[in-house]
Structure 1
Amino acid sequence: MAWSYVALAAVIEIFWVVGLRYSVTAIQWTGTGVAIVLSFYFIIKACEKLPSGTVYAVFTGSGAAAILLVDIFVFQAGFTWVTLTFIGLIVIGVVGIKLTTDEQVDTEGGG
């Protein structure tokens, strides 16, 4: 479940990063603020079961790769094969971190 929180936070990060760039109305800024709060809420929940350094590395790496892909496919940012190579390296690193990190088991039964 903790990895689901990290993934959800990374997906929501896409929305607030785009919001920081393109928001102009109060409603858009409010939505951006809500997305920021939700994203960090899910990061905090993930840190309850996973090491915070691991959570942060996966969150920032996967979020950065996803945002770059959104820039390329949605906002027609420039694309190079070098960029794709480095995105691939980020993804490989994120998968490697996930595969080598175990969730902490709650032995007290508190949640």
Structure 2
Amino acid sequence: MAWIYVLLAAIVEIFWVIGLRYSDTALEWAGTAVAIIISFYAIIKACEQLPSGTVYAVFTGSGAAAIVLVDFLFFNAEFSIMKVLFIAVIIVGVIGIKMTSEESVQVEEEGD
């Protein structure tokens, strides 16, 4: 369940980052604030079961990669092969952190 919270936080991060960039009205700013609260709540819930460093690394890495992809696809950001390669490095790093942190969580549970 903790990883679902991390995934939720990363998905909602996309919306609040877009909101920070494009909000013009009070309603849009309110929606951005709600998205930030939901995202941080999900991070807090994930940190109850997973190491906070792992949660933060996965959250920021996956969120940053997703935001860059959304910029490419929907907001006509400049596309370059180097950006795509660096996004791939972030994704590989996030997968690596997730794979290694699951092992460490299982070891901690066995030790208790």
Q: Same fold judged by TM-score > 0.5?
A: yes
Cα deviation, 1:50-97, whole Å, max 9, x if unaligned, reads: 000000000000000000000000001000111100000000000000
In structure 2, C-alpha distance between the alignment counterparts of 1:24 and 1:85, rounded to whole Å: 33
Is the counterpart of residue 77 in structure 1 residue 77 in structure 2?
Answer: yes
Percent identity of equivalent pairs: 65
Mapping of residues 1-80 of structure 1, within 5 Å = 1-80=1-80
Q: Which amino acid aligns with 1:73?
A: L
**Any unmatched runs of 5+ in structure 2?**
none
Cα deviation, 1:18-64, whole Å, max 9, x if unaligned, reads: 00010010100000000000000000000000000000000000000
In structure 2, C-alpha distance between the alignment counterparts of 1:92 and 1:9, rounded to whole Å: 19
Cα RMSD (Å) of the superposition? 0.9
Q: What TM-score, normalized to structure 2?
A: 0.91
In structure 2, C-alpha distance between the alignment counterparts of 1:91 and 1:69, rounded to whole Å: 12
In structure 1, C-alpha distance between the alignment counterparts of 2:4 and 2:89, rounded to whole Å: 22
**Any unmatched runs of 5+ in structure 1?**
106-111
In structure 1, C-alpha distance between the alignment counterparts of 2:61 and 2:93, rounded to whole Å: 8
Q: Which amino acid aligns with 2:101?
A: T
The residue aligned with 2:92 is: 92
Q: What TM-score, normalized to structure 1?
A: 0.92
* Structure 1 or 2: more helix by fraction: 2
Deviates more, 1:94-103 or 1:70-79: 94-103
